[in-house]
Structure 1
Amino acid sequence: MIKQQNIKGNARSRRDSRRKVKQEVFAKANPMLVGRKYDVDTSPVEIECKPGYEPTPIKFVAQDAVWQRKEYKRQLERAAIVYGNEFGHKPLESGMCLPDVALYSAGHRSSKSVTAR
């Protein structure tokens, strides 16, 4: 256990102590306005179901989850198609980016010395 030390109070501690005294005086004068105004019912709670209610079988819950996953995948595919049509992004026909890519490769330079520019 930590020993309580006598520390000189600061403005906050003095304010808190004054507030605590005021609250205690008010609580003694008005006991009905302070604290809990109701009795706690500690009886066990029973769940009441509406008449005719039957819980959904787990099989249908699982089927619904699978359907939602498939529908989400379809929506992503649709969005990709719409995006491609909207902005005109078409896949490249070949693997080459430049028609003269061999011209710019390192082995076909006219100068053999490479300088840093």
Structure 2
Amino acid sequence: MKNKTLVFGASLNPVRYSNMAINKLVNNGEKVVAFGLKSGEVAGVKIDTELKKYTDIETVSLYMNPKRQADFYDYIVSLKPDRVIFNPGTENPEFYQILRKNSIETEEACTLVLLSTNQYKAHKGEETV
């Protein structure tokens, strides 16, 4: 069963939005894994620096600029997530097309806002309270 969020482009810096997203996801009871350039831990979540073959990724919350994303297209598609959230600054029409061709939903949104407004799970038709 897919039930995890992969924060892709995670940072150890507490003022970075990816770091804030990990904290907020954990505080909201979401299962979280993370990939970043520097290993470490945020809110009890280990930031991996090696690409792992996860089988249970529901959502990829992307925090990597479009120029750097191309190196990871195949990897993200291979995870077969239900959706990829393109947070502000990560918008990438080329990648949208690739994901959609692979039946992966794309969403231009802010993970932090979705969580704050109880809309994070709404894409699956789940109730938002």
TM-score by length of 2: 0.15
Higher fraction of helix: 1
Which has the greater radius of gyration? 1
